[in-house]
Amino acid sequence: MNPAANLILVGPTGAGKSCIGRRLAEHFDLRLADCDRAIEQQTGASVATIFECEGEAGFRERESAMLAELLADDGVLVATGAGAVLDVANRALLRRRGYVVHLQVTPARQLERLARDRTRPLLQRPDRDEVLRSMAVVRTPLYREVADLEFDTEALEAAEAAARLALELGRRWQRGAAA
């Protein structure tokens, strides 16, 4: 058991980090912090605009800084961006500052969930399926590396997933002080 003051959701785009996160934050009386939304609020620009102006590397720098800022506090649920685990320092921070839940979903289900989404910069290509599969190959081992718990959202709507995950967390996560 990892007694941690914070709850952190990692996983691929479309796994439900934001939607499930809202429900879990309310259930566990945590402050919700969606990393991508926090970056947008801080910069006044969308993630897509940041990617366009600064490239992925510029965005990733902002993402690392925002994760550090959000996880400096206790009592927060952080919904990370899907690529936050790409940076080794981010992975160390996630493990050190929270109980990490890897929300799992297949690329096929991601495609269904993201069919109408045009906001995610890395998916603005005709070969979305291949992009998602390639991301999964690289990122899944990194999600697993940081995870205290893996939870499959494949066949669940957000409300049901949050309810089931809250029960599982009640058995596995002891909210405490971060190290």
36 is in an annotated binding site: yes
55 is in an annotated binding site: no
109 is in an annotated binding site: no
Inter-residue contact 136 to 91 (CB < 8 Å): no
48 is in an annotated binding site: no
- Give strand pairing partners of 179: none
Count of residues making up the chain = 179
96 is in an annotated binding site: no
176 is in an annotated binding site: no
Which residue, 37, 25, 12, is CA-closest to 113? 12
Which residue, 46, 115, 116, is CA-closest to 81? 46
The whole-angstrom separation of Cα 16 and Cα 23 is 11
29 is in an annotated binding site: no
Q: At what angle do helices 88-97 and 128-146 cross, to 10 degrees?
A: 50
Which residue is it, tokens 């912090």? Answer: 33
136 is in an annotated binding site: no
DSSP H or E segment with residue 18: helix 17-27
Known binding-site positions for ATP: 14-19, 120
Known binding-site positions for substrate: 36, 60, 139
Known binding-site positions for Mg(2+): 18
Known binding-site positions: 14-19, 36, 60, 120, 139
